[in-house]
Amino acid sequence: MPGTVQSIERAAAVLRLLAAAPDGLGVADLGNALGLAKTTVHGILRTLHQVGFVEQDHTGAHYHLSDAFGRLGESYLDPNELRSRAINWADSLASRSGEVVRVGRLVEGKVVVVHHVFRPDDSDQDLDVGTTLPPHATALGKAVLAYDASGASRPHKLEAFTTRTIIDPARLAEELAAVRARGWASEFEEYTVELASIAAPIRGLGGLVVGAVGLAGRVERICDSRLRHRADLVTMVRATADAIARDLREDA
């Protein structure tokens, strides 16, 4: 039987001590309590701070549990943070692909658009920031829904928007498994007739999926002559998601 992971045990011990100390504890306090060197404790605290579980007081001498630690069921990443890291990459994707680009995140079973780049032409378009999309009927939604381990965000009722919308839970489960296997999601006239889309998950610290980026457009532009999603666009979308993820991790 495999053994436990010591670093996780130590991190859990630090969190337990901080939970019992409303006024916070210093590095030396934690080291003495756990029999660990200050450098080891500081490394644990730095990591817990990066993931948003602990905070320092105004003097920087004491640590305490963050408010985010008490809200583990919620997304740890602020939508403004996701948007700010995605802006330049999403703008570039729209410019290169010539299509609409959106960045979204799961909130209470819906995909909320946090950033929207217009298709780079002179056509009339409406800004979608703040609007919601059905996760089961869009590539952007499937790209995040596929990594919802608890299944809590999966819609209880799969509403049909077109004749191609997936409304069978078993079929949706298969579709999401395919998304995880290939690393990107697709949609073909499932939300709007004559439109198709491609999206890829954005991973934050620890590999947690915090959102997705995708493009959408008319079927004849998104798909090839055999109605398969164009490989070059898939590559662009996945590269964009990876670039946003790198920015999120490097700046954490």
Q: How many domains, the chain?
A: 2
Residue whose C-alpha is closest to residue 65's, from 28, 30, 107, 106: 30
Binned at pLDDT 50, 70 and 90, residue 2 comes out as low
Do 103 and 25 belong to one domain? no
Give the mean pLDDT of 223-236.
97
Q: Is the residue at 109 inside a domain?
A: yes
Give the mean pLDDT of 63-75.
75
Cβ 26 vs Cβ 61: under 8 Å: yes
pTM assigned to the model:
0.80
From 18, 45, 71, give the residue that closes a domain: 71
Helix (H, G, I), strand (E, B) or coil at 242: helix
Find the domain containing 179 and state its range: 79-250
Give the mean pLDDT of 104-133.
91
Do 30 and 118 belong to one domain? no
Q: Is the residue at 1 inside a domain?
A: no
Do 136 and 41 belong to one domain? no
Q: What is the pLDDT of residue 76?
A: 62
Q: What is the CATH number of the domain that holds 22?
A: 1.10.10.10
Which pLDDT tens digit goes with each residue over 167-196?
Answer: 999 999 999 999 999 999 999 999 999 999
Q: What is the CATH number of the domain that holds 134?
A: 3.30.450.40
**Portion of the chain with pLDDT greater than 70, in percent:** 93
Residue type, 21: A
Do 152 and 240 belong to one domain? yes
Do 126 and 221 belong to one domain? yes
Q: What is the pLDDT of residue 207?
A: 81
Q: What is the pLDDT of residue 173?
A: 93
